[in-house]
């Protein structure tokens, strides 16, 4: 049995893991978990959060960082830690996952809400229930009302990455863990197509395209 990734397509952490699998050349079955019906996910991992990766051995991993570290152990070539940059990538990836994510998540929430609304009123209601229970009643409505201000904050948070990526193809010059973390956040921000990385951020746009083209598909013979 191939490795199996349980995901929500809109999740930045699932996008991060998908791209890591492709980079490592690991062909995996992608299971899009029903947002309301999560019994298969619960049976696989004992909890209802994504991403979850079940390996061929039967080992089940939860949390994108733990998954990344385990994939590096099992498939060290190509590495996600360029020589001399192990600590740097850990620090950068942690910053992106825990400091940049909340800012971009607020900016992208209206598009995600529309995504689940298209799947049905029950899924939209559940999406809102989860966010409102975590951040307070009326959170989703506030994020919709504050959409432009949140988008401005997101672009401000991304500006240091833009300045770095104008001069370098990857955050530290060579591809590593932090690049996959940033790719996941950008994917989640733009996946609906209603928003895009602005044209005045050419470094980020080129970076996203570069990362997006990474594939696990074998190269055709020369």
Count of domains in the chain?
Answer: 2
Q: What is the pLDDT of residue 222?
A: 39
Q: What is the model's pLDDT at position 162?
A: 98
Higher pLDDT, 35 or 59: 59
- Distance from chain centroid for Cα 33: 16
Final residue belonging to a domain, choices 38, 54, 74: 74
- Same-domain pairing of 185 and 96: yes
Q: pLDDT, tens digit, for every residue of 61-118?
A: 999 999 999 999 999 999 999 999 999 999 999 999 999 999 999 999 998 898 889 9
Looking at residue 192, its pLDDT comes to 58
Range of the domain at 92: 86-212
Are both 66 and 132 inside the same structural domain? no
Its pTM stands at 0.93
170 in any annotated domain: yes
């Amino acid at each position: 049995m191939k490795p199996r990734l349980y995901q929500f397509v809109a999740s930045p952490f699932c996008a991060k893991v998908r791209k890591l699998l492709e980079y490592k050349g690991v062909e995996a079955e992608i299971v899009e978990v029903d947002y309301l019906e999560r019994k298969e996910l619960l049976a696989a991992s004992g909890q209802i959060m994504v991403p979850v990766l079940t390996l061929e051995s039967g080992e089940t991993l939860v949390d994108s960082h733990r998954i990344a570290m385990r994939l590096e152990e099992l498939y060290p070539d190509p590495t996600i830690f360029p020589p001399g940059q192990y600590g740097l990538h850990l620090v950068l990836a942690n910053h992106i996952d825990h400091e940049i994510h909340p800012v971009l998540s607020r900016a992208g929430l209206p598009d995600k809400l529309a995504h689940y609304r298209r799947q049905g009123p029950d899924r939209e209601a559940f999406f809102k229930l989860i966010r409102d229970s975590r951040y307070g009643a009326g959170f989703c409505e506030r994020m919709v009302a504050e959409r432009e201000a949140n988008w401005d904050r997101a672009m401000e948070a991304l500006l240091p990455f833009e300045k770095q990526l104008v001069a370098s193809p990857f955050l530290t010059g060579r591809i590593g863990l932090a690049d996959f973390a940033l790719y996941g956040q950008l994917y989640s921000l733009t996946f609906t197509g209603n928003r895009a990385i602005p044209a005045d951020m050419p470094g980020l746009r080129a970076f996203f395209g570069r990362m997006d083209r990474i594939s696990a598909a074998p190269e055709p013979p020369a």
